Amino acid sequence: MKDSSAALETTDYTKTMWKQCLEIIKANVPPITYNTWFIPIKPIDYSNDVLKIQVPNNYFIEWIDEHYNTLINKVISQVLGENGKLVYVIVEEKDNLFEAHEIIEVVKKQPEAQISAVSDIDSHINPRYKFENFIKGEGNQLARAASIAISDNPGETSFNPFFIYGGVGLGKTHLIQAVGNKILEKHSSKKVIYLSSEHFTVEFVDAIQSNTVNEFSSYYKNMDVLIIDDIQFLIGKEKTQDLFFHIFNTLHQSGKQIILSSDKPPKDLKGLSERLVSRFQWGLTADIQPPDFETRIAILNNKSKSFGIALEPEIIEYIALNIKSNIRELEGCLIKLLASASLNSKEIDLALTKKTVKEISTNKQTIVSIENITKVVCNHFSVDENKVREKNRKKEVVIARQIAMFLSKKLTTSSLKTIGLHFGGRDHSTVIHAFNSVDTLLSNDTYMRETVDSLRNKIELGAA
C-alpha cells in the first residue's frame, strides 16, 4: 500500500487557483449548493494548465457535471485559460478505512476543440455505470443476464433488439450503459453510442434546420451498437419515428446491436407507429421490477461502501424498510445523509437517518402516469378504460375521459399532443376543450370539485 499524502500536498499557488475558481462558483450557485458540493473539494496540484482537485467520491463528479457543467466550463476557461483542464481525483479507501489511498484520476473537461480533434465519436457513456456495481436481484435478473450476454457478443445473440422496460429509478439506464461500457472495454474499436430518445429528437430537429439530415442518418447507421434510452418520448413525434425506423432497419439487417429502454412494454407504447412496436418485439423484451428488501439492503451496503462510509446495520435496515419503490431514492437518501453529516460534522446515527428519510418522503415528487390517472378515474366512474379511448359519447364516459385528460395535464409534464394520443389519438384541441370544460365545472360545482380533489389525492398517493 502506498502512502499518498505526499502526492496530496498542496502549494499556495494551487490553492490560489482553486480559490479563484471558487469565487466564480460561489457567485453563481445557491449557498447550500456551494457548501454541500464545492466546499468539500480540495485542490491538490496545479501545473501545465492542469488543476487537480480532490472530490470525496464519484457522486460529486456526477452531480456537479449534471447540474453545473456549463458553469464549470466557464470557470475552466476563465481561470485556467483556453488550454486549461480540470482533473477530478477520487481518493478511495482501501481495506483499512481512510488509511491507505489509491488515486483515481478522472479527466473531466477538455476544451471542445480538443475533444473533436482527438476522438472520433463521443459515446455519451458514463463510466460509472458498470456491471460490477449493479446489484443483482430478483427484479432485474433477466434484464441483467441478457445485458451481460449481449455485451459478450453484441449483435450476435438473438436478443436484437434488446428492449428493457420498467418504472423510474430501477436501473434501466445503468444496465444499458453497463453494456456499452463493457463492449468498449473489450473492443475499443467498436462504435458504441448512447443517447436518450429526447436527445435523438433534438439532434434530428437540428439536422433538419441545418439541412444535414442525410449526414445525421448515416452517422447513426454507421454505429455498431446503438443504445437509446427512454424510447417512450418518441411518442407523438412521427417524423423522428420515421427516421428512427430506417436507422433501425439498416442496423438490424447488418447485424448491429440495438438496445432500447422504456417505461412500459412495446405493446403499451400507444402513439408509437405499429411498425416500430412490432420491430421492438423481434428480439428480447425484459422488465425490471422494484427491488425486494434483501436487494435494497445489498444496494445500500454497496453504495455506502463506495462513499467510504461504514453504516450500522440498523441504519441500513431503517432506510431499506422505509424507502422501497426506487433505487434512485435509496441513493438520494445516502447522499443526503452524507451531505448533512459532513456539513454539520455530525455522526450518521438513527435520529439523523429518520429525519432524512422523512424529508425525502415529504419532498418526494410524485411521478404519475397517464395510464394510472386513467385507471383511477375510470374505476371511480365505473367506466371501462377502453371506452375512454374509443369514440364513445355516453355521458359517464365523456366525463371520465375529460377528467382524466384534465388530471393528465395537471399532474404530468406530458404535452397536449401526447395526452391526446393516450386517449385514442385525439387531437390537442380536444384536450384543451376537455381541460377548459372541467375547469369551469370545478369552479361551479362543489361536489365535482371534491370528487376531483379526492381522485387527485388517490392518484398522487398511488404514485408515491
Q: Which residues bind Mg ion (CB under 5 A)?
A: 172-173
Check binding of 328 to ligand ADP (CB under 6 A): yes
Q: Which stretch binds ligand ADP (CB under 6 A): 15-23, 99-107, 132-140, 350-358?
A: 132-140
Check binding of 364 to ligand ADP (CB under 6 A): no
Binding partner of 170, given ligand ADP, Mg ion, none, CB within 5-8 angstroms per partner class: ligand ADP
Site for ligand ADP, residues 290 to 309, rule: CB under 6 A = 299
Task: Tell me whether residue 241 or residue 261 sits nearer to Mg ion (CB atom).
Answer: 261
Task: Tell me whether residue 101 or residue 303 sits nearer to Mg ion (CB atom).
Answer: 303
Binding partner of 299, given Mg ion, ligand ADP, none, CB within 5-8 angstroms per partner class: ligand ADP
Closest separation in Å from C-beta 173 to Mg ion: 3
**Does a cis peptide bond (omega within 30 degrees of 0) precede residue 291?**
no
Task: Tell me whether residue 173 or residue 418 sits nearer to Mg ion (CB atom).
Answer: 173
Three-state DSSP at 70 gives helix
CB closest to ligand ADP, residue no? 171
Closest separation in Å from C-beta 117 to Mg ion: 31
Q: Which stretch binds ligand ADP (CB under 6 A): 130-138, 233-241, 335-343, 408-416?
A: 130-138
Separation of alpha carbons 187 and 189, rounded Å: 5
Site for ligand ADP, residues 138 to 157, rule: CB under 6 A = 140
Separation of alpha carbons 432 and 126, rounded Å: 40
Closest separation in Å from C-beta 121 to ligand ADP: 22
Give the contacts of 297 (CB within 8 A, at least 6 positions apart): 316, 317, 320
Continuous segment of H or E residues that includes residue 102: strand 101-109
Q: How is 357-380 classified by DSSP, letter by letter?
A: HHHHHHHPPP---HHHHHHHHHHH
Task: Tell me whether residue 327 or residue 419 sits nearer to ligand ADP (CB atom).
Answer: 327
Closest separation in Å from C-beta 130 to Mg ion: 16
Count Cβ neighbours within 10 Å for each residue of 341-366 and write b for 16 or more, e otherwise: bbeeeeebeeebbeebbeebeeebee
Residue 425 gets the label, from left (phi > 0), alpha (psi -120 to 50) or beta, of: left
Task: Tell me whether residue 111 or residue 332 sits nearer to Mg ion (CB atom).
Answer: 332
CB closest to Mg ion, residue no? 173
Binding partner of 417, given Mg ion, ligand ADP, none, CB within 5-8 angstroms per partner class: none
Closest separation in Å from C-beta 48 to ligand ADP: 34
Q: Which stretch binds ligand ADP (CB under 6 A): 43-51, 81-89, 145-153, 327-335?
A: 327-335
Binding partner of 135, given Mg ion, ligand ADP, none, CB within 5-8 angstroms per partner class: ligand ADP
Give the contacts of 371 (CB within 8 A, at least 6 positions apart): 264, 268, 422
Cα 449 to Cα 419, 439, 452: the distances in Å are 22, 9, 5
Check binding of 180 to ligand ADP (CB under 6 A): no
Task: Tell me whether residue 172 or residue 191 sits nearer to ligand ADP (CB atom).
Answer: 172
Cα 331 to Cα 68, 283, 296, 326, 373: the distances in Å are 20, 32, 10, 9, 28
Closest separation in Å from C-beta 257 to ligand ADP: 19
Cell numbers that stand for 242 in this block: 420515421
Check binding of 172 to ligand ADP (CB under 6 A): yes
DSSP summary character for residue 87: E
Closest separation in Å from C-beta 54 to ligand ADP: 22
Contacting residue, 125, 170, 179, 272, with ligand ADP by CB under 6 A: 170
Closest separation in Å from C-beta 176 to Mg ion: 8
Separation of alpha carbons 154 and 160, rounded Å: 9
Residue 213 gets the label, from left (phi > 0), alpha (psi -120 to 50) or beta, of: alpha
Check binding of 173 to ligand ADP (CB under 6 A): yes
Check binding of 287 to ligand ADP (CB under 6 A): no
Check binding of 134 to ligand ADP (CB under 6 A): yes
Closest separation in Å from C-beta 231 to ligand ADP: 12
Closest separation in Å from C-beta 139 to ligand ADP: 8
Contact status, residue 53 vs residue 43, Cβ threshold 8 Å? yes
- How many positions of this chain bind ligand ADP (CB under 6 A)? 16
The two beta strands, 101-109 and 85-93, are antiparallel
Separation of alpha carbons 264 and 157, rounded Å: 23
CA torsion 268-269-275-279 (nearest 10°) is -70
Cell numbers that stand for 317 in this block: 435496515
Give the contacts of 401 (CB within 8 A, at least 6 positions apart): 388, 423, 434
Q: Which stretch binds ligand ADP (CB under 6 A): 33-41, 164-172, 349-357, 412-420?
A: 164-172
- Given the rule CB under 6 A, which residues bind ligand ADP? 133-135, 140, 166, 168-174, 299, 327-328, 331
